[in-house]
Amino acid sequence: MAQAKINAKANEGRFCRSSSMADRSSRLLESLDQLELRVEALREAATAVEQEKEILLEMIHSIQNSQDMRQISDGEREELNLTANRLMGRTLTVEVSVETIRNPQQQESLKHATRIIDEVVNKFLDDLGNAKNHLMSLYSACLSEVPPGPVDQKFQSIVIGCALEDQKKIKRRLETLLRNIENSDKAIKLLEHSKGAGSKTLQQNAESKFK
């Protein structure tokens, strides 16, 4: 009888220790789950800052190369460029880096995709029209919805092999390049229009002198 009580107490102690360890493990796991949410929130916030920095630099650059900038006095343009350069310098002081964890295959896919985009960018000066069309097909390859134009199937398979974060960055880079081309096209057309209008005015003035 006494031996039975001793065994019961020993079993009870083991049960209490086991129960306590399980509770402690559960609490630790819950804490880690909460920390994981905060880590992901941190990465998302840092990525948002990265994107905001890219957008700000693009906007400053766009203003500096805008048609309006060409149609003001030299003094005003110099003053505005000083302000734009100051803003760009302050923007560049913000350093945010979100590293993406990749396996060897994803690393290779990213290198391949980057190399393809760089090759198209290097052709801008030689043939802007074809380069733009090629970029559009690369961008269409990154869309989840039905693209408006042709898709570069080879590039699409390469992008699919990249890490998800890299896929988003590739898409953003292509969007930026296409916007820059669009802005360049508009600037060239406006410049040609202003030159054409100026030539027409000069011709009219010349003709009026002979009349």
Q: Report the candidate in 80, 60, 82 with the shortest Cα–Cα distance to residue 70.
A: 80
Whole-model pTM over 0.85: no
Q: Where are the domains of the chain?
A: 27-98, 100-193
Q: Report the candidate in 103, 16, 90, 8 with the shortest Cα–Cα distance to residue 56.
A: 90
In the predicted structure, residue 172 carries a pLDDT above the cut 80: yes
Q: Which CATH architecture has domain 100-193?
A: Up-down Bundle (1.20)
Give the mean model confidence (pLDDT) for residues 44-61: 89
Q: Which residue has the higher pLDDT, 5 or 115?
A: 115
Please enumerate in sequence order all residues whose Cβ is within 8 A of that of 41, keeping only pairs 6 or more positions apart, or say none.
none
Measured CA to CA, the distance from residue 173 to residue 168 in angstroms comes to: 9
pLDDT digits (tens, 9 = 90+) for 93-151: 999 888 888 999 999 999 999 999 999 888 877 777 888 889 999 999 999 887 778 89
Within 65-163, residue ranges assigned H as helices are 67-70, 74-92, 104-121, 128-140, 153-160
Q: What is the pLDDT of residue 132?
A: 87
Measured CA to CA, the distance from residue 204 to residue 208 in angstroms comes to: 6
Record the tokens describing residue 147, joined without a space.
């693209």
Q: Report the candidate in 126, 127, 142 with the shortest Cα–Cα distance to residue 176.
A: 142
Say if CB 141 and CB 153 are below 8 A apart: yes
Measured CA to CA, the distance from residue 42 to residue 24 in angstroms comes to: 27
Instruction: Work out the end-to-end distance of the chain between its first and last CA atoms, rounded to an integer number of angstroms.
Output: 135
pLDDT digits (tens, 9 = 90+) for 145-154: 877 788 999 9
Give the number of other Cβ atoms within 10 Å of residue 131's Cβ. 19
